[in-house]
C-alpha cells in the first residue's frame, strides 16, 4: 500500500483500476467516445477501453471541447471513473467540475505515470489530496 499526496482536486472519493500512459490526453483527439476506446493510432493506449478506469496521464493537450465531452460521456455512463494528471489544464478541470468527475494533479513524489502501474487498484480522495495505491 502506497499513499501519494497531490494538490486537492475536484469531485468525490472514488476507487478503481488504473489505466496508465505517459502520453498526454484529449477527449476530442484521442478517443472514440461512442465505443469507449482510445482511437488515435499514435496514442500508446490505442484500442484500450477507458470506461470506468482511473486514467493516469501526463497532462492534457489540444482543444476546449473536452470540457463538454467529459460531461456528455459521464451522462452516458461512458466516462473514466477519474483522471489523474501530473498537471491538469484548465479545460479538463472545467469539464470535471461540470461533470462531477474526480480529478487530481500535482503529485509530490514525482511522475505519477511512473509511480502508478497499469492495473493498480486506486483509492482517490480529491478533498484530501490523496491517492492510495493498493498493490
Partner 1 sequence: MKLTEEEQAMLAGEMGAPRQWAIDHMMKVGAMFDAPDLVEISQAHMMADPESLGEAGVAFLEGLAAGDAKVVVPMITDPRGVDLDYYRPLGQTEEMADLERRTIAACAAMGIAMTNTCINYQTIMPPVQGDHVAFGDTGVVIYCNSVLGARSNFEGGPSALAAALTGRTPRYGLHLPEKRRATRRFRVHEQPQGLTGWGVLGAVIGRASGSYWEVPVIEGIDVIPTSDEIKHFGAAMASYGSSPLFHIVGITPEAPTLEAAGGANLPREEITADDLRALKSNFGGRGDKVDVVVFAAPQLSLVEMQTLAGLLEGRRRHPGTAVIVCTSPSVYADALRLGYVETIEASGAKVLQGTCFYNQYAREIGEANGWRRLLSNSAKIVNILGGYGYAPALASMEECVESACAGEIV
Which positions lie near partner 1, rule CB under 8 A? 7-10, 24, 26, 28-32, 39-43, 59-69, 71-72, 74-76, 87-91, 93-95, 97-98, 103, 105
User: Minimum distance between the CB of residue 28 and partner 1, rounded to whole angstroms?
Assistant: 7
User: Minimum distance between the CB of residue 78 and partner 1, rounded to whole angstroms?
Assistant: 10
User: Minimum distance between the CB of residue 29 and partner 1, rounded to whole angstroms?
Assistant: 5
Q: Name the residue nearer to partner 1 (CB basis): 13 or 87.
A: 87
The DSSP annotation for 87-128 comes to E--HHHHHHHHHHT-EEEEEETTS-HHHHS-TT-EEEEETTT
Determine which helix (DSSP H) or strand (DSSP E) holds 30, and give its type and residue range: helix 27-30
DSSP assignment, residue 35? T
Q: Name the residue nearer to partner 1 (CB basis): 21 or 94.
A: 94
- Residue pair 73/65 in contact by the 8 Å Cβ criterion: no
Q: Name the residue nearer to partner 1 (CB basis): 53 or 71.
A: 71
- Residue pair 82/101 in contact by the 8 Å Cβ criterion: yes
Q: Name the residue nearer to partner 1 (CB basis): 95 or 120.
A: 95
Pairing assessment for the beta strands 37-38 and 130-134 based on DSSP bridges = unpaired
Cell of 96: 470535471
User: Minimum distance between the CB of residue 1 and partner 1, rounded to whole angstroms?
Assistant: 26
Amino acid at each position: 500500500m502506497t499513499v501519494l499526496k497531490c494538490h486537492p482536486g475536484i469531485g468525490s472519493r472514488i476507487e478503481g483500476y488504473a489505466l496508465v500512459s505517459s502520453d498526454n490526453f484529449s477527449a476530442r483527439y484521442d478517443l472514440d467516445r461512442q465505443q469507449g476506446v482510445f482511437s488515435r493510432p499514435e496514442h500508446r493506449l490505442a484500442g484500450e477501453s477507458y470506461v470506468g478506469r482511473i486514467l493516469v496521464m501526463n497532462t492534457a493537450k489540444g482543444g476546449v471541447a473536452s470540457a463538454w465531452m467529459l460531461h456528455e460521456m459521464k451522462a452516458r455512463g461512458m466516462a473514466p471513473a477519474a483522471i489523474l494528471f501530473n498537471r491538469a489544464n484548465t479545460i479538463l478541470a472545467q469539464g470535471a467540475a461540470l461533470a462531477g468527475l474526480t480529478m487530481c494533479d500535482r503529485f509530490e513524489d514525482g511522475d505519477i505515470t511512473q509511480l502508478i502501474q497499469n492495473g493498480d487498484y486506486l483509492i482517490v480522495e480529491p478533498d484530501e489530496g490523496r491517492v492510495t495505491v493498493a498493490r
